[in-house]
Chain A
Amino acid sequence: MTEVNAPYGLLAEVTHRCPLHCVYCSNPLELQAQQDELGTDEWLRVLDEAAALGVAQVHLSGGEPLARSDLEVMVARASQLGLYTNLITSGLGFTAARVQRLVAAGLNSVQLSVQGEDAEATATVAASLAFDKKRQAAELIREAGLPLNMNVVLHRLNLDRLDAIIDLCVEWGAERLELANTQYYGWALRNRQQLLPSRAQVIAAEEVYTRRRDELADRVELMWILPDYHEKFPKPCTGGWAKTGLTVAPDGMVYPCPVASEITSVEFSSVREHDLSWIWWQSPGFNAYRGTDWMPEPCHGCERREVDFGGCRCQAFALTGDAGRTDPVCTYAPDHGLVVAAVEEAERAEEDRESDVASLHYRRPSPRSAL
Chain B
Amino acid sequence: MNVTELTERPRLASKAMLRHDEVRDAELLLLPERVVRLSDSSAAVLRLCDGARTVGELLGRLREDYPSSDLTDDVLGFLDDARQRGWVVVA
Contacts and interface: CB of A to CB of B under 8 A. Distances in A.
A6 B37 CA distance: 14
Nearest to B21: A56
Contact of A111 (B21, B23, B32): B32
Given A108-B15, A147-B14, A86 B32 contact: yes
Contacts of A146: 15
Given A145-B14, A147-B15, A175-B15, A57 B21 contact: no
B2 to A, nearest CB: 17
Contacts of A84: 17, 30-32, 35
B74 interface: no
Q: Which of A53, A56, A108, A176 has the most CB of B within 10 A?
A: A56
Contacts of B28: 56
B33 interface: yes
A52 interface: yes
B33 A6 contact: no
A90 B24 CA distance: 34
Interface string A172-213: 000110100000000000000000000000000000000000
A54 interface: yes
A194 B31 CA distance: 36
A8 interface: yes
Contacts of A149: 32-33
A9 B21 contact: no
Interface in B42-91: 86
Nearest to A108: B17
B24 A147 contact: no
Interface string A46-76: 0000001110110000000000000000000
A93 interface: no
Interface in B4-51: 14-15, 17, 19, 21, 23-24, 28, 30-33, 35
Q: Which of B15, B19, B28 has the most CB of A within 10 A?
A: B15
Contacts of B15: 108-109, 146-147, 175
B32 A56 contact: no
A82 interface: yes
Interface of A: 6, 8-9, 52-54, 56-57, 82, 84, 86, 108-109, 111, 145-147, 149, 175-176, 178, 221, 223
Given A82-B19, A146-B15, A176-B32, 9 more contacts: A54-B24, A57-B30, A57-B35, A84-B35, A108-B15, A108-B17, A149-B33, A175-B86, A223-B33
